[in-house]
Structure 1
Amino acid sequence: MKELLIAIDGPAGSGKSSVAQLVAKKLKLNYLDTGAMYRAVGIYLHSKNLSPSDDLSKALDEIEFFYNSGDLYLNGEKLKEQIRTAQAGKLASDFAVNPLVRLKLTEIQRNICKGGRFVVDGRDIGTVVLPNAQVKIFLTASFEERVRRRLKELCHKGVDLTFEEVAEQIRLRDEQDSKRSLAPLRPAEDAIVIDTTDKSIEEVVQEICDIVLRRMNCENDRC
């Protein structure tokens, strides 16, 4: 089975995780949520009373991820819904600025995807993790729309936050992601940028699937 890697990047609230899952389902590909991996590692390191500025070498050496049919396991335990909290998101961003964390997870993500057929979403997939991905997408949306989406998501989970509180969380996350020295958030040079502000999730999914199919047909025809 020929390798096929689709990288979908974008800032918080751009809809990349929901879109990536649906694209994978529609095209019958595997889905890898790298954000879940950073959240899980952030929670794990925090539970060890470590901070991003500490020497994390030993703790990171203890980390093992296993991927099976769409599910991720950290040290034998399946990732659960607790990684979706606002605190988990903050821990993910805080620890992601440590180069050792990014290097560790980049290596793991590459190994999972090697030779496979994956849709992978994150913040540095097209630029760092899978620079040779056949298709690279960068999703974006207006700041206000991204806040509304995240607020709606949190409300569904029973998290009671105001628009202003969620806006501040996303603002801080954007700042951390774009200003970190290693693998800052930015579109790959050959990425297709899609503004999802005024588009439904179905429209975005279809647009990406069309891009993938055109690219694959082009490769098959050697155009």
Structure 2
Amino acid sequence: MKKIIIAIDGFSSCGKSTMAKDLAKEIGYIYIDSGAMYRAVTLYCLENGLFNTDGSIQEEALRQQMRQIQISFQLNPETQRPMTFLNGKNVEERIRTMEVSSHVSPVAALDFVRKALVQQQQEMGKEKGIVMDGRDIGTAVFPNAELKIFVTASAEIRAQRRYEELKAKGQDASFEEILHNVEERDRIDQNRAVSPLRKADDAILLDNSHLTIAEQKQWLKEQFEKAAHASH
């Protein structure tokens, strides 16, 4: 079967990444975590003092240093999950903290950051056989992807999932703070000037508010098989 590109877009905390990773693992594709790439740039900014005290970014400094930021993915042999590397260092754990989560939106809104990362992503996509999730994969990164999915769920349900995820990791979490973060990210994602979050015309809509993981997996697998056969 010919390899295709699968683009999964949607709102934050919809479980897009889990979904994309599971699908990639099941069909033997490479998973590209675009969110992790923006988180890695955010971590770079935090570690290199590129945030001002008011939370804004020293854009000029970051623009100069963008060329030195290389992001790659390697499979963890034990879990078979991709790990994110920033300039050769494994940063998978560090990019998942609340500190990075609360700084990532302004970084992702910078056009020169998006351009640089999209270039790195398109490079990775040349071989096909990839699954990628994010906000603008089907609209901006891989507009020619053979399968596009757009995922949504209510803000409350998404906040609840994120809350339970953090609790399970033993991290302190406040549901109100998370809900506020989810709604704020929706607002920023949908209203930003560069590649705002929107459903591509040819994307298939998936509202997973009330789906179990198993039902969702089944549905995804069917969409993949249809698309892979159709692309022959």
Length-normalised TM-score, structure 1: 0.93
Residue 49 of structure 1, CA deviation: 1.8
- The CA deviation string for residues 68-124 of structure 1, in whole angstroms up to 9 with x for no partner, is 343332111122212111221222212111111111111111111212311101111
- Does the alignment pair 1:32 with 2:32? yes
Report the secondary structure of 1:197's partner residue.
coil
2:65 to 59, 70, 75: 59
Q: How does 1:28-107 map to 2 (within 5 A)?
A: 28-51=28-51, 52=57, 54-55=59-60, 56-69=62-75, 70-107=82-119
Q: Which 4+ residue blocks in structure 1 deviate beyond 6 angstroms?
A: none
Inter-partner Cα distance in structure 2 for 1:73 and 1:85: 16
Residue of structure 2 in register with 1:195 after alignment: 207
**Aligned residues of 1:53 and 1:98 also touching (Cα < 8 A):** no
Residue of structure 2 in register with 1:18 after alignment: 18
Residue of structure 2 in register with 1:145 after alignment: 157
Inter-partner Cα distance in structure 2 for 1:183 and 1:215: 25
Inter-partner Cα distance in structure 2 for 1:90 and 1:100: 20
Inter-partner Cα distance in structure 2 for 1:100 and 1:213: 36
Inter-partner Cα distance in structure 2 for 1:19 and 1:67: 17
Residue 199 of structure 1, CA deviation: 0.1
Q: How does 1:138-217 map to 2 (within 5 A)?
A: 138-217=150-229
CA RMSD across the alignment: 1.5
Report the secondary structure of 2:127's partner residue.
coil
Residue of structure 2 in register with 1:5 after alignment: 5
Matched residue type, 1:175: R
Report the secondary structure of 2:14's partner residue.
coil
Identity rate, percent: 39
- Does the alignment pair 1:113 with 2:118? no
Structure 2: gaps of 5 or more residues: 52-56, 76-81
**Aligned residues of 2:153 and 2:208 also touching (Cα < 8 A):** yes
Inter-partner Cα distance in structure 2 for 1:67 and 1:112: 10
Residue 53 of structure 1, CA deviation: 5.2
Inter-partner Cα distance in structure 1 for 2:227 and 2:110: 35
Inter-partner Cα distance in structure 1 for 2:155 and 2:84: 30
Residue 216 of structure 1, CA deviation: 1.7
Inter-partner Cα distance in structure 2 for 1:171 and 1:64: 30
Report the secondary structure of 1:7's partner residue.
strand
Structure 1: gaps of 5 or more residues: none
Q: 1:215 to 1:3 in 2, by over 3 A?
A: closer
Report the secondary structure of 1:25's partner residue.
helix
Inter-partner Cα distance in structure 1 for 2:215 and 2:58: 42
- The CA deviation string for residues 22-67 of structure 1, in whole angstroms up to 9 with x for no partner, is 1111212111111111101111022222243521221101111233
Inter-partner Cα distance in structure 1 for 2:99 and 2:147: 32
Inter-partner Cα distance in structure 2 for 1:25 and 1:80: 18
Matched residue type, 1:37: M
Q: 1:157 to 1:87 in 2, by over 3 A?
A: same
1:129 to 119, 123, 141: 141
**Aligned residues of 2:4 and 2:228 also touching (Cα < 8 A):** no
